[in-house]
């Protein structure tokens, strides 16, 4: 401390100086305040005006009605049904378990559903409503509505439910809809539409692939609301726009018929209009019922579906790959003719074929066979020997041009395309040289040959027309112009004749169309799934279902002026002629004579023990009792 004697004069000077300082500081603060206010009100005015406006005006989204999916004749495949629904809003729930048990009492919810609701509630993110039930009967809806004040977090509303008249027969075709998950909400940049209870988006199949068309534009009621959410006044609304209707090339009656005719088998059927490439039917059975999926399915339903060895959750028409078996033979014969093989030349079939130290079998001893007989009676030895003579290099391109291994532009994101092998491919993929036995395997559609049922139907279409038929599913996509295939008309006529022979007096003679004047041409196939010994083949009852051969059939009608082509692959169906050919026969009969086909279906279903719905209900019941569960409550 300085030893300066401080006087009153000093003090007075100090005071004035410090007063100046204080005054200056005060003025500086005043300047700062005015500057800051100017910055907020002038420089950032626009930003804050925007924020103020977004505070003031809230948009209550009005969900658009989802577009319909209709068949080629305009019949509904997926439509909307007015319904009542009940949801839980997690953020508003005070006592979750109590609310759920109250709802269970009021709505008579099965324990399965209670489990699902509890699970979804635990996983929810607060903003996302949990569906209690869609399609609620009016009495339940009314019962909930009067008790709403005592049930915080429960929301009862009117809305629309997706309805699929075809039920499980269209499951694999259309997929299903459901409430958006948290991940989907994030992916769409937190689209507020997805949070509205009852708004469903496509989850699988066409519903997912065509989402952008089907969804439509949400409208909105613009309202002025207070910070506490109280409505002050309504401003001009923004109208919603319903989703667009999508017309498919599917003939829903034929599709449903084929699906039912599949019976208890695990199979896919594809029917194509060869003139346009329109897919008329493409069921994959068994399937799930998309009506059950739209309000979320219970854990048990899911377990039953995913545990089923008939794979109801797989679209077998597009996603499953199988060896083509003998259905490859007409195309193979075409390739042989193209390579200059004389179709009258005979090969003696002794029932076995020796290549190196391995014996390849035929299913019987055909004796001397020419090309026609080899196709009609499906003689393997003929193809082994002829194909070896020509070589794989000349065969594979023809097989490919007929549709095997080809990618088609269809609105599904999970198609698989299979393989048609050749020596180059073998080197690329397996780094080994093509061997004689590879040709032998390929000649009868075994080994590396893998196809899906759609490709088989396309092959039938192309053999029927000699043109490059390209399948299409959406009615509004242009028909792909059909170019001529590089085949001789004479060869083509011969092959068609041979395929007619298959049904007339060959392997599929039991599957003639019960129609006057309309004859079918086709080819059976039996694809081995396991290497069974000769004595085990054909003895299907001894093998468990999983070890059985796949049963294939492709066909076109009428054989002399082809109009429709069809194909099916029945998983583990056994011999091609026994299961697959009659299935296609009845399906194609439906196109010409509905009463006759329907009568055939009734007989068929009676033998199985009831309609599809009855059998499904029984199957579910059996599964539930086998898993120690009470019978499922019937859905109202």
Which chain residues interact with another protein by CB under 8 A? 1-2, 5-8, 10-11, 14-16, 18-19, 22-23, 26-27, 29-30, 32-34, 36-38, 40-42, 44-45, 47-49, 51-53, 55-56, 224-228, 232
Quote the least distance from Cβ 127 to another protein, whole Å. 13
Quote the least distance from Cβ 179 to another protein, whole Å. 25
For another protein, give the closer residue by CB, 41 or 142. 41
For another protein, give the closer residue by CB, 32 or 122. 32
Q: Which helix (H) or strand (E) holds 51?
A: helix 45-56
For another protein, give the closer residue by CB, 41 or 608. 41
State the Cα–Cα distance between residues 331 and 321, nearest whole angstrom: 19
For another protein, give the closer residue by CB, 40 or 73. 40
Quote the least distance from Cβ 45 to another protein, whole Å. 5
431 Rama class: left (phi>0) / alpha (psi -120 to 50) / beta: left
Quote the least distance from Cβ 59 to another protein, whole Å. 15
Quote the least distance from Cβ 25 to another protein, whole Å. 9
With beta carbons less than 8 A apart as the criterion, state whether 325 and 573 touch.
no
Quote the least distance from Cβ 94 to another protein, whole Å. 21
Q: Give the number of C-alpha atoms closer than 13 A to the C-alpha of residue 325, restricted to the C-beta side.
A: 32
For another protein, give the closer residue by CB, 235 or 617. 235
Specify the DSSP class assigned to residue 126.
S
Quote the least distance from Cβ 109 to another protein, whole Å. 35
For another protein, give the closer residue by CB, 47 or 505. 47
CB atoms inside a 10 Å sphere around CB 219: 18
For another protein, give the closer residue by CB, 231 or 427. 231
For another protein, give the closer residue by CB, 55 or 414. 55
For another protein, give the closer residue by CB, 212 or 226. 226
For another protein, give the closer residue by CB, 23 or 621. 23
Quote the least distance from Cβ 27 to another protein, whole Å. 8
State the Cα–Cα distance between residues 96 and 152, nearest whole angstrom: 9
State the Cα–Cα distance between residues 336 and 327, nearest whole angstrom: 15
CB atoms inside a 10 Å sphere around CB 96: 15
For another protein, give the closer residue by CB, 57 or 82. 57
Torsion sign across C-alpha atoms 486, 490, 493, 498: negative
- How far, in Å, are 337, 463, 606 from residue 487 at the CA level? 9, 10, 45
**60-74: b or e for each residue (b if 16 or more CB lie within 10 Å)?**
ebbbbbbbbbbbbee
With beta carbons less than 8 A apart as the criterion, state whether 557 and 564 touch.
yes
Q: At what angle do helices 489-505 and 329-338 cross, to 10 degrees?
A: 150
130-136 and 69-70 strand pairing: unpaired
212: its two tokens: 């952008």
Vertex 17 angle, CA 11 and 22, to 5°: 120
* Three-class DSSP labels, 560-619: CCCCEEEEEEEECCCCHHHHHHHHHHHHHHHHHCHHHHHHHHHHHHHHHCCCHHHHHHHH
In the three-class reduction of DSSP (H, G, I as helix; E, B as strand; rest coil), residue 35 is classed as helix
Quote the least distance from Cβ 248 to another protein, whole Å. 47
For another protein, give the closer residue by CB, 232 or 486. 232
Quote the least distance from Cβ 24 to another protein, whole Å. 11
For another protein, give the closer residue by CB, 44 or 101. 44
Quote the least distance from Cβ 193 to another protein, whole Å. 21
Quote the least distance from Cβ 90 to another protein, whole Å. 18
Quote the least distance from Cβ 87 to another protein, whole Å. 24
**Radius of gyration for the chain, computed over Cα atoms and rounded to the nearest angstrom:** 35
Quote the least distance from Cβ 56 to another protein, whole Å. 4
For another protein, give the closer residue by CB, 10 or 594. 10
- Whether the bond into 286 is cis, omega within 30 of 0: yes
For another protein, give the closer residue by CB, 29 or 534. 29
169: its two tokens: 């027969």
583: its two tokens: 């299935």
CA dihedral 330→472→470→285, nearest 10 degrees, is: -20
Quote the least distance from Cβ 20 to another protein, whole Å. 10
Neighbour-count burial of 419, counting CB atoms closer than 10 A to its CB (0-12 exposed, 13-18 middle, 19+ buried):
middle
State the Cα–Cα distance between residues 144 and 139, nearest whole angstrom: 9
Specify the DSSP class assigned to residue 516.
S
Vertex 355 angle, CA 324 and 575, to 5°: 30
State the Cα–Cα distance between residues 107 and 132, nearest whole angstrom: 10
């Amino acid at each position: 401390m300085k030893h300066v004697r401080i006087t009153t004069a000093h003090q007075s000077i100090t005071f004035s100086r410090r007063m100046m300082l204080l005054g200056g500081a005060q003025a500086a603060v005043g300047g700062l305040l005015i500057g800051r206010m100017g910055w907020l009100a002038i420089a950032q005015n626009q930003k804050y005006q925007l924020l103020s406006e977004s505070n003031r005006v809230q948009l209550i989204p009005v969900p658009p009605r989802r577009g319909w999916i209709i068949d080629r004749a305009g019949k509904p495949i997926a439509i909307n049904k007015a319904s009542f629904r009940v949801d839980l809003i997690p953020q508003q729930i005070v006592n979750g378990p109590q609310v759920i048990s109250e709802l269970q009492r009021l709505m008579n919810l099965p324990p399965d559903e209670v489990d699902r609701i509890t699970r979804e509630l635990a996983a929810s993110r607060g903003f996302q409503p949990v569906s209690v039930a869609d399609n609620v009967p009016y009495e339940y809806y009314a019962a909930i509505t009067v008790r709403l004040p005592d049930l915080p977090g429960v929301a009862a509303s009117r809305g629309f439910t997706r309805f699929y008249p075809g039920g499980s027969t269209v499951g694999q075709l259309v997929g299903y809809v459901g409430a958006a998950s948290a991940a989907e909400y994030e992916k769409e940049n937190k689209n507020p539409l997805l949070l509205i209870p009852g708004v469903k988006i496509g989850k699988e199949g066409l519903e997912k692939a065509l989402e952008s068309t089907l969804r439509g534009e949400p409208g909105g009621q613009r309202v002025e609301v207070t910070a506490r959410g109280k409505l002050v006044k309504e401003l001009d609304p923004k109208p919603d726009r319903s989703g667009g209707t999508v017309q498919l090339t599917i003939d829903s009656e034929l599709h449903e018929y084929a699906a039912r005719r599949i019976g208890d088998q695990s199979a896919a059927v594809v029917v194509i209009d060869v003139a346009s490439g329109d897919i008329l039917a493409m069921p994959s059975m068994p399937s799930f019922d998309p009506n059950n999926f739209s309000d979320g399915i219970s854990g048990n339903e899911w377990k039953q579906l995913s545990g089923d060895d008939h794979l109801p959750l797989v679209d077998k028409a597009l996603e499953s790959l199988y060896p083509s078996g003998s259905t490859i033979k007409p195309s193979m014969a075409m390739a042989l003719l193209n390579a200059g093989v004389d179709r009258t030349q005979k090969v003696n079939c002794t029932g076995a074929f020796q290549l190196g130290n391995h014996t390849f079998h035929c299913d019987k001893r055909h004796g001397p066979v020419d090309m026609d007989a080899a196709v009609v009676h499906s003689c393997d030895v003929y193809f082994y020997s002829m194909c070896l003579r020509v070589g794989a290099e000349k065969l594979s391109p023809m097989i490919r041009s007929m549709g095997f291994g080809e990618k088609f532009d269809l609105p599904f994101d999970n198609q698989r395309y299979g393989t048609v092998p050749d020596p180059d491919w073998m080197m690329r993929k397996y780094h080994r040289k093509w061997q004689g036995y590879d040709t032998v395997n390929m000649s009868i559609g075994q080994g590396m040959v893998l196809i899906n049922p759609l490709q088989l139907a396309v092959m039938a279409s192309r053999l029927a027309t000699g043109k490059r038929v390209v399948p299409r599913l959406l009615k509004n996509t242009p028909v792909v112009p059909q170019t001529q295939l590089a085949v001789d008309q004479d060869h083509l006529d011969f092959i068609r004749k041979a395929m007619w022979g298959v049904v007339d007096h060959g392997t599929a003679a039991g599957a003639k169309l019960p129609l006057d004047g309309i004859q079918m041409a086709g080819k059976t196939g039996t694809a081995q799934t396991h290497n069974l010994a000769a004595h085990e083949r054909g003895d299907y009852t001894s093998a468990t279902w999983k070890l059985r051969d796949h049963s294939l059939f492709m066909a076109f009608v009428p054989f002399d002026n082809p109009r429709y082509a069809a194909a099916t692959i029945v998983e583990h169906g056994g011999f091609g002629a026994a299961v697959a050919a009659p299935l296609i026969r009845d399906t194609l009969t439906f196109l010409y004579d509905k009463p006759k086909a329907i009568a055939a279906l009734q007989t068929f279903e009676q033998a199985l023990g009831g309609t599809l719905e009855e059998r499904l209900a029984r199957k579910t019941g059996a599964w539930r009792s086998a898993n120690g569960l009470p019978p499922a409550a019937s859905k109202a």
